[in-house]
């Protein structure tokens, strides 16, 4: 089955800096890669996703890149703000047939003012 590894486990940055979180996956048939943000005590919420037919996707200050050959994808947050502080999870799945998201272990991002 699919296995998703995520690094780093914690990341501390100064406000205004960029943050990068990296994930690798094992199943070459996976073609859908979402990122979730979980604030303390809250549910995970989808912030951006990418499908295997594109290499990069941007939404304001966040972007995701995908390298299918190397089987890794990354989340990039620019101009970080204190409200970006949260735990971020990557995930991977096949979009055809029954979908079962496999999550990474999470990255705790702390943005200091």
Partner 1 sequence: SQTIHQWPATLVQPVGSPLSLECTVEGTSNPNLYWYRQAAGRGLQLLFYSVGIGQISSEVPQNLSASRPQDRQFILSSKKLLLSDSGFYLCAWGAHYGYTFGSGTRLTVV
58 vs 100, beta carbon nearer partner 1: 100
Minimum distance from CB of 103 to partner 1 (Å)? 4
43 vs 113, beta carbon nearer partner 1: 43
Distance CA 96, CA 21 (A): 26
Q: Which residues contact 112 (CB under 8 A, 6 or more apart)?
A: 12, 13, 14, 15, 82
17 vs 54, beta carbon nearer partner 1: 54
Phi–psi pair at 88, nearest 5 degrees: -110, 135
Contacts with partner 1 by CB under 8 A lie at 32, 34, 41-46, 49, 51, 89, 95, 98-106
């Amino acid at each position: 089955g699919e296995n998703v590894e995520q690094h780093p486990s914690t990341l501390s940055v100064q406000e205004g800096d960029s943050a990068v979180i990296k994930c690798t996956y094992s199943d070459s048939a996976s073609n859908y890669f979402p990122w979730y943000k979980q604030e303390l005590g809250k549910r995970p919420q989808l912030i951006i996703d990418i499908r295997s037919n594109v290499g990069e996707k941007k939404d304001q200050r966040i972007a995701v890149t995908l390298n299918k050959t190397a089987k890794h994808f990354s989340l990039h947050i620019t101009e970080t703000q204190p409200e970006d502080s949260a735990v971020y999870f990557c995930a991977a799945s096949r979009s055809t047939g029954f979908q079962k998201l496999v999550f990474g272990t999470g990255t705790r991002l702390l943005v200091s003012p």
